[in-house]
Amino acid sequence: MSRSRENSVGLIDPQLYHHSQPFLLQNGDVLHGYELVFETYGTLNAEKSNAILICHALSGHHHAAGFHAADDAKPGWWDACIGPGKCIDTDQFFVLSLNNLGGCHGSTGPNSIDPMTGEIFGPSFPNVVVKDWVASQSHLADHLGIQKFAAVIGGSLGGMQAMQWSIDFPARLYSAVLIASAAKLSAQNIAFNEIARQAITTDEDYCAGNYRQFNKNPENGLMLARMVGHVTYLSEDGMKTKFDRDIKSGDFEQGANVEFQVESYLHYQGRAFTQYFDANTYLLMTRALDYFDPAREFDGDLTRALRKTKAKFLVLSFSTDWRFSPERSQEIVDALIRARKNVASAIIESEHGHDSFLLPLDRYTKVLRAFLQRSLEEFESSPKQLGIKNEGGA
């Protein structure tokens, strides 16, 4: 993996933010304090005007770039785009990436101890939603002294967080980048999430969510959930290019023991997932996806939901993404235009389906880089933008 170490942010130590105050959630539950694990790349300038927040997707976490140890086989999940000279250029920007509340990579989540009972939360961890994530992220920003981000960026579920930021904290971000995202999931999209959830909850080892207590893990269910997910993140053409009908093992001549490459891939990905991802977190994250719909409190009118936003938007989608299709992005763009907001959009040609947003595709990284450069220049050239006094509350 020596190539990927070029233009890398290098060795990174995760940090921990401890929020000691009670935190009221959207569903009325209260978390009695919480912790968020996060990483930063690049240097925050004196004016604190060059901060970018990265919001992660369903199975993401804080480790977006660089390495935790010199012998790590793989860098962070978005290393292709974050680093010195890359499109999210750490020579210019201070990049903040965290693991969301309810996650399973070090932030308070279903595997944490509930301070009220002294036992792990397990299935009783409250249903957090995108709005809760954004509120908790704003506390982390306060902690780091960041009054206003130059950009909040996210792909998929991460794009939903970036949109929620623009709605809930209009004065705290100069621009928002929504990549392969949607203003709400379609019925088809919710259906795939429900299949994934059923796979997990009907696994014998799920134990009504208390699998940790019984030293079990609903591996089969989690694996199945991930396999379904993976299929929907790829395109038919992409799968054909990657696997076609290639045989991994066995022989048609000798009978039935044929394993296709695509099967082997899904088994491997699914199995690997069970080793680093928590089933309760998966359920929680998919529900957050399903429930997201900022237009709900505005009679379903997204334009009204976006009316008070102040950010400049960049909305990107990918031609073969059918899980978060270009049409879903177009709905966001149309609503932003109706709300008279600044927005640019591009539909990137790619055969990699929804997964495209993780890849350093030439056109994608160029337009993202251009947008971020422009945002930084505009933000820094406007003294009013930088001042805290003129900010106006969220």
Partner 1 sequence: MRGDLKLIATLINPGARVLDLGCGEGELLDHLQRDKRVNGYGLDRDEENIRTCVRKGVNVIEQDLDQGLSNFVDASFDMVVMTDALQAVKAPRELVRDMLRIGEECIVTFPNFAHWRCRAQLALSGVMPVSKQLPHNWFDTPNIHLCTFTDFEQLCAAESINIIQRRVVNANHQEKKFINWAPNFFGTYAFYRLGKSS
Catalytic residues: 156, 321, 354
Choose, by CB under 8 A, the member of 1, 116, 191, 370 that binds partner 1.
Answer: 370
Q: Site residues for partner 1, window 1-40 (CB under 8 A)? A: none
Binding residue (CB under 8 A) for partner 1 from 346, 358, 361, 376:
346
Work out whether 360 is an interface residue with partner 1 (CB under 8 A): no
User: Dmax of the chain from CA atoms?
Assistant: 76
As a whole number of angstroms, the distance between CA 333 and CA 159 comes to 13
When asked if residue 180 is in the footprint of partner 1 (CB under 8 A), the reply is: no
DSSP 220-242: HHHHHHHHHHHHHHS-HHHHHHH
Q: Pattern 293-332, binding to partner 1, x per CB under 8 A?
A: -------------------x-x---------------x--
Whose Cβ is closer to partner 1: residue 32's or residue 363's? 363
Number of chain positions touching partner 1 (CB under 8 A): 22
- Sequence-distant (6+) residues with CB within 8 A of 388 are 147
Give CA–CA dist 157/134, Å, rounded. Answer: 12
Classify the phi-psi angles of 277: left when phi > 0, otherwise alpha if psi is within -120 to 50, otherwise beta: beta
Residue 52 CB, nearest distance to partner 1 (Å)?
16
Query: How is residue 83 written in tokens?
Result: 């680093």
Q: Which two tokens stand for residue 301?
A: 């009118």
| Nearest distance from C-beta of residue 368 to partner 1, angstroms | 9
Range in contact with partner 1 (rule: CB under 8 A) among 146-154, 186-194, 244-252, 333-341: 333-341
Residue from the set 35, 301, 334, 391 that interacts with partner 1 by CB under 8 A:
334
By CB under 8 A, tell whether 72 contacts partner 1.
no
CB of 293 to partner 1, least distance (A): 20
Task: Dig out the tokens for 228 from the structure.
Answer: 């379904």
Instruction: Identify whether the C-beta of residue 335 lies closer than 8 Å to the C-beta of residue 306.
Output: yes
Using an 8 Å Cβ cutoff, are 114 and 273 in contact? Answer: no
Tell me how crowded residue 151 is: count the other CB atoms within 10 A of its CB.
27
Quick one: which of 183, 194, 179 has its CA closest to 229? 194
* Residue 344 is a binding residue for partner 1 (CB under 8 A): yes
Which residues contact partner 1 by CB under 8 A? Answer: 312, 314, 330, 333-334, 337-338, 340, 342-347, 363, 366-367, 370-371, 373-374, 378
